[in-house]
Amino acid sequence: MNRIWIVVPAFNEEKNISSTIQDLKKHGYKNIVVVDDESRDHTVEKAKKAGVIVLQHIINRGQGAALRTGIEYALDQNADIVVTFDADGQFLASDLKGLIQAVEKKEYDISLGSRYLGKKMEIKIKNPLNHLVFAIRQVFLKGGRVFNYIFTRTWFSDSQSGLRAMNRHAAKAIEITQDRMAHATEILEQIAKKKLRFIELPITVRYTDETIEKGQGGKGLLAGFRIAKQYVFRKVVS
């Protein structure tokens, strides 16, 4: 059986990390590494209690840096397939089977989950203001596809999905230099630049008041502009 490693970047996810790990284990995934990005809550303790490997950044570096740490660790463990999976409870472990199978068949180097390809978004938002933020964020996400196309000359339906499965070749080829949220665009650019064979597959994404209020989801278009600025600035100075 292929050695499959799940990389879970986490920052202040004490409310969700246990259920996220439980969902992954329920679906048979045992090789799980949580990369804690200097959380200020009980994320580390809960992840360790859930029985997974926990790596810790001593300073907050950003999700891109956490992914890089986790992917490098998985490769050191001789992973054949590396999966990236967010800690906030938005993704379903049941969606991983299709993503992994696409890579196992050796037709693709990387499979990308997309919330815009047929599966529903589970929206459990009660706060009216968060409904507005959600709507604004959808505008940003769809607009991000155009931004990505400008830099990659390749069309991706979901510009910011954190759910991916990649073979060892892709995991080694993709160079993540963007420490923070601009890494998502950088990964798509690397896929195009390195001519990696990719496929997008439908996934379900769950939205709650908590996920909207936390992180970039609670910042709407401002987060989108910040991500774009980070990416463009790094391109200019590199």
| Residue 132 pLDDT | 81
| Residue 217 pLDDT | 38
Domain positions in the chain are: 4-237
Q: HSE on the CB side for 69, CA within 13 Å?
A: 23
| Residue 57 pLDDT | 97
pTM listed for this prediction: 0.85
| Residue 119 pLDDT | 67
| Residue 229 pLDDT | 46
| Residue 131 pLDDT | 76
The architecture CATH gives domain 4-237: Alpha-Beta Complex (3.90)
Question: Which residues touch 222 (CB under 8 Å, ≥6 apart)?
Answer: none
Other Cβ atoms within 10 Å of 73 Cβ, number: 17
| SS3 at position 185 | helix
Helix intervals (H) in 118-237: 128-152, 168-173, 183-193, 209-213, 221-237
pLDDT in tens, 101-140: 999 999 999 999 999 997 677 787 888 888 787 777 777 7
Q: What DSSP character marks residue 120?
A: P
Residues of the chain scoring pLDDT < 70: 1, 119, 148, 215-238
Closest CA to 92 of 168, 20, 199: 20
